[in-house]
Structure 1
Amino acid sequence: LFADAQVRLLDYHTKGVDSDLRDIDTGDNYAFFNPKVGLTYLVKRGESFYASYAIGNREPVRGDFVDAAADQIPKAETMHNLEVGYRKASGNYSYSANYYLMDYENQLVLTGAVNDVGSSIRVNVPDSYRMGVELVGAVKVMDALTLSGNLTLSQNKIAEFTEVIYDYGPAFDEYNEIQNEYTDTDISFSPNVIGGSQISYSPLDFMEISLLSKYVSKQYLDNTSNDDRSIDAYFVNDLKMDLSFASKQVKQIGISLMVNNIFDVKYVSNGYTFGYAGGDYVVRENYYYPQAGTNFLAAVSLKF
């Protein structure tokens, strides 16, 4: 059994003028109590169950204060975290399974709202959560060959979400705020499936060759769960070779050679979206960060 507790006292205030010539006299005081309790039960050697529960609090970041709308102070975030899991390691194999639930109060998310100078602001949403199962395993097929992998299946939801779009009218000389209501919607940049695997082969004592694979499912650019504002799922593979030598002068010489994205997959892993209205039409624009095709990396390490 274990337990610990943390008390954090913060006095965060800022005064002055921002780069856009706005007064930034803002901030707040916080007193956080962050407890954690848990247990581990050893069934037998190499096999155990565990569980833990924790509460964590986090103050808004500087941008949340500075970019907030006039006379508004963002609230601190609170997370209730429950984890339950099982581990086993025996002989040539090991595996584990972990269930987690991160229940948030006042999580800060982007809604499309901007302040009086056009900076995007994060807004507290009362109720949101991340819940999932993490699976990890490895097996030594033979002395020279090892297989390992991991898989995360999750749901990442906001109970009630209000999207904000600004209608600037046909002449763009005035604007009105449009609010779109959503329920049980996905948290942005939170794929429901993440998986990885590694196949490692050592034909010689000083050499290891590994194939590393990674899969990331579809994720959304905003919190509306709209497929038109999303990042496609992607699957990439890397090839790595590690060499290790020794000499009289150097205790260990390590050489690593990597070929990343060996199949030259065209994919993106991040981006953002922007929307506005102009009278009788709505514009939605997506921006993506393309990732490199096949690329190479070499590294040398010396241990004396």
Structure 2
Amino acid sequence: MTGLLFSMGVFAQQKQKDSTQLNQLDVVLVSAVRVTSKTPVSFSNLEKKDIAPRNLGQDIPVLMNYMPSVVTTSDAGNGMGYTGIRVRGSDATRVNVTINGIPYNDAESQGTFWVNMPDFASSVESLQLQRGVGTSTNGSGAFGASLNMLTDNFASKANGEISNSYGSFNSHKHTVKFSTGLLNDHFELAGRVSNLKSDGYVDRASSDLKSYFLQGTYINKTTLIKALAFGGTEKTYQSWNGIDGETLNSNRRFNSAGMFTDEEGNPRFYDNETDNYQQDHYQLHWSESFSDKWSSNLAFHYTKGKGFYENYKEDADMADYGLNSVGSVTTTDLVRQKWLDNDFYGTTFSVKYRDEKLNVILGGGWNKYEGDHFGKVIWARYASQSELGDHYYDDFSTKTDGNIFAKANYQLTEQLSFYGDLQYRNVRYKANSWETGLVDDTFNFFNPKAGLNFEIDQKNALYFSYARANREPNRTDYEGGNVKPEKLNDFELGWRYNSDTFQLSSNFYYMGYKDQLILTGTLDDVGNPIRSNSEKSYRLGFEADATIKISDKVILRPNFTLSSNKNVDLDVEGQNYGTKEIAYSPSVIAGNIIVVSPVENFHISLLQKYVGKQYMNNIELAAAKLADYFVNDLNVSFEIKPKSVFKSIMISGLVNNILDKKYISNGYMWDVYPYYYPQAGINFLAGLTLKF
């Protein structure tokens, strides 16, 4: 029955190995960035078997929606295409993401764009979400959470998998996987290809997504070498404009992207108002187990990204695009492309020592980002002196990021253990653009962490921790000027309880910020969220999640977060607004999963999510309030295990928003005017997976 259950109760893993059912050498890949139940950090795990019944095409943030303190959203309204995640009110730029310990966040924007890796969930063995600062990791600092993912383990026996799903809005996913198994007991080759398409709930919010994953493995008793190549291409019709309140009431699926008026005064929509991007990742990992006490991991990585988004611009100022006026004509309709061509490469490393009382990890990484930004006009009604292929701007940026850390967990007594974690991080960012100006900033951050874990008895444990984090501004922050790095002190106090029928994880947290870069609720001209420094702010909250075994056939998994998220003495353009709520930070977030298994291998799950009211700016403007919402999904799966041909046949179905709730999960402010991202009403996905 556990095949469907979400591993959201942190302490539910205490009676399992710290990294469930993974090969000991494979664990070394992520041991430098993951924590266990003895670490005084708030975290949740999600395993492949938990993801599988709902892995029907929706993105990783949506699959994580029912984890504690998580809020997700979708531009297209149905969980495919562009999706986003917030944890404890912190947006995706604050969630540090690693894949096998390699940084994934975009170096400049610090965001994560899951649309660039469609169906990546099909190649994830497990993931761990650490809330708060968490443990030291590679890449940009965690200011709300860190998410680390481990890709597929190697398979000892040859196998294959074909998975297909179809659903509302002409959404469908086709996935093929294979593994050779271990050849000569040492070599394995495995791979996946996927194709996903959807029209989206929002008008024209279509997505055409393709991805691949290829892995070669060599293993013996002490050595694991993995070479990985994975990535994807996406073509997504833009739907990031949102809609105003009046349109929301009359036509909640309306999409203004690409709208223009032709020469005869007729409203039309440009058919290629799209985002186009290809991203390819290459990783090489060498894990070595020298003895029962010593092990190491060395990794090299390279990511290539290239793409553009295309817009129809009506009555554009010709001078803005390097075009001379044509007689008295100074404006023109045109189609532009804004390109990004970037390279990201580097190395990560760690050495681990472990005995009965002491667990020490020394590690770090060095990474470099090089990004070309340029724009092209591919059509203009009045082309002036332009030539095909001309650039109307050319910007270049580089960012280097190096860190070293030392972590130790020492068993002081039979019941009490101490955790210490020291990290030094050096960042240099250089950019030349009309948006950012000339930037050449260097940051040196020292991030100490410490905590205690006290096991009262076999069922109860208490922990306390303190963590310091520092974080540099991102590219968009520099557009506003006078930007400062952020500082955070994170205090966590938790209690974990574990028995055969009841597991509970609860914790209080206080996150005190200095110069936090808070979302203002507004967007720039290309849809990037604009942030500004808040001199003093905090997040104070209580989290709890549990696993309750009612019987062999019924299990509950509730969780909730109560919080207060405030800017103190908020100053906006010289006006003091006093203490106000931080934007996009609901004070109540709750989730619940009810799993009923009437017969073996047949599971029915009711998934529930409540998100309290929140504001889209920081001055609690009435028009900026997003209403609370409560959404219910129904997931059904049935697995058949034939005696021949197929090892497994899984039939699964997902009905999202079964009560057809008309809700909004995200939005922004354009001056004092709110714009919204409406989410789909009742919709479904159904899938068939064949394993052989």
- The change in CA–CA distance for 1:48 and 1:142 in structure 2 (over 3 A counts) is same
Contact 1:7 1:32 in 2 (8 A): yes
Partner of 1:227: 622
Give the SS at the match of 2:578: strand
* 2:450 partner letter: V
- The change in CA–CA distance for 1:112 and 1:4 in structure 2 (over 3 A counts) is closer
CA apart distance, 1:43: 1.0
Give the SS at the match of 2:420: strand
Partner of 1:295: 683
CA apart distance, 1:135: 1.2
State the alpha-carbon separation in 1 of the partners of residues 600 and 611 from structure 2: 34
- The change in CA–CA distance for 1:240 and 1:121 in structure 2 (over 3 A counts) is closer
CA apart distance, 1:246: 2.1
- Cα deviation, 1:134-190, whole Å, max 9, x if unaligned, reads 0112211111011120010000000022234xxxxxxxxxxxxxx542111000000
Give the SS at the match of 2:570: strand
Alignment of 1:40-51 (within 5 A): 40-51=453-464
Bigger proportion of residues as helix? 2
State the alpha-carbon separation in 2 of the partners of residues 260 and 225 from structure 1: 31
Contact 1:185 1:224 in 2 (8 A): yes
Q: Does 1:59 align with 2:472?
A: yes
Q: Which of 598, 618, 638 matches 1:203?
A: 598
State the alpha-carbon separation in 1 of the partners of residues 658 and 440 from structure 2: 49
- The change in CA–CA distance for 1:120 and 1:206 in structure 2 (over 3 A counts) is closer
Q: Which of 632, 646, 650 matches 1:250?
A: 646
State the alpha-carbon separation in 2 of the partners of residues 39 and 25 from structure 1: 45
Alignment of 1:1-304 (within 5 A): 1-15=418-432, 17-18=433-434, 24-65=437-478, 67-69=479-481, 72=482, 74-111=483-520, 121-164=530-573, 179-247=574-642, 248-275=644-671, 284-304=672-692
State the alpha-carbon separation in 2 of the partners of residues 137 and 110 from structure 1: 32
CA apart distance, 1:120: 7.5
- The change in CA–CA distance for 1:297 and 1:188 in structure 2 (over 3 A counts) is same
State the alpha-carbon separation in 2 of the partners of residues 241 and 102 from structure 1: 39
Q: Name structure 1 gaps, 5 residues minimum.
A: 165-178, 276-283
State the alpha-carbon separation in 2 of the partners of residues 121 and 143 from structure 1: 50
Contact 1:112 1:163 in 2 (8 A): no
CA apart distance, 1:111: 4.6
CA apart distance, 1:303: 4.3
Contact 2:637 2:652 in 1 (8 A): yes
- Cα deviation, 1:51-89, whole Å, max 9, x if unaligned, reads 111001111011112x123xx3x1111111110100111
* 2:564 partner letter: Q
* 1:94 partner letter: Q
State the alpha-carbon separation in 2 of the partners of residues 196 and 112 from structure 1: 25
Which has the larger displacement, 251-260 or 43-52? Answer: 251-260
Percentage of identical aligned residues: 41
Aligned-residue CA RMSD (Å): 2.1
State the alpha-carbon separation in 2 of the partners of residues 42 and 28 from structure 1: 45
Give the SS at the match of 1:44: coil
Give the SS at the match of 2:490: strand
Contact 1:246 1:253 in 2 (8 A): yes
Contact 1:200 1:209 in 2 (8 A): yes
State the alpha-carbon separation in 2 of the partners of residues 95 and 132 from structure 1: 17
* 2:683 partner letter: N
* 2:654 partner letter: M
- The change in CA–CA distance for 1:57 and 1:249 in structure 2 (over 3 A counts) is farther
CA apart distance, 1:30: 0.3
Partner of 2:110: none
- The change in CA–CA distance for 1:256 and 1:99 in structure 2 (over 3 A counts) is same
- The change in CA–CA distance for 1:120 and 1:92 in structure 2 (over 3 A counts) is closer
Equivalent residues, number: 271
Contact 1:111 1:163 in 2 (8 A): no
- The change in CA–CA distance for 1:49 and 1:114 in structure 2 (over 3 A counts) is closer
TM-score, normalised with respect to structure 2: 0.38
- The change in CA–CA distance for 1:189 and 1:120 in structure 2 (over 3 A counts) is closer
Q: Name structure 2 gaps, 5 residues minimum.
A: 1-417
- The change in CA–CA distance for 1:35 and 1:300 in structure 2 (over 3 A counts) is farther
TM-score, normalised with respect to structure 1: 0.83
Contact 2:436 2:476 in 1 (8 A): no
* 2:421 partner letter: D
- The change in CA–CA distance for 1:13 and 1:230 in structure 2 (over 3 A counts) is same
Give the SS at the match of 2:661: coil
* 2:480 partner letter: A
Contact 1:208 1:241 in 2 (8 A): yes
State the alpha-carbon separation in 2 of the partners of residues 290 and 28 from structure 1: 39
Give the SS at the match of 2:456: strand
State the alpha-carbon separation in 2 of the partners of residues 4 and 285 from structure 1: 45
* 1:88 partner letter: Y
Give the SS at the match of 1:183: coil
State the alpha-carbon separation in 2 of the partners of residues 214 and 191 from structure 1: 13
Give the SS at the match of 2:476: helix
Bigger proportion of residues as strand? 1
CA apart distance, 1:123: 2.1
State the alpha-carbon separation in 2 of the partners of residues 231 and 112 from structure 1: 12
CA apart distance, 1:121: 4.6
Give the SS at the match of 2:617: coil
CA apart distance, 1:293: 0.2
State the alpha-carbon separation in 2 of the partners of residues 97 and 212 from structure 1: 21
Partner of 2:190: none
- Cα deviation, 1:202-256, whole Å, max 9, x if unaligned, reads 0110100011111111000100123331100101101110122223333333332
Give the SS at the match of 2:583: coil
Which has the larger displacement, 212-221 or 91-100? Answer: 91-100
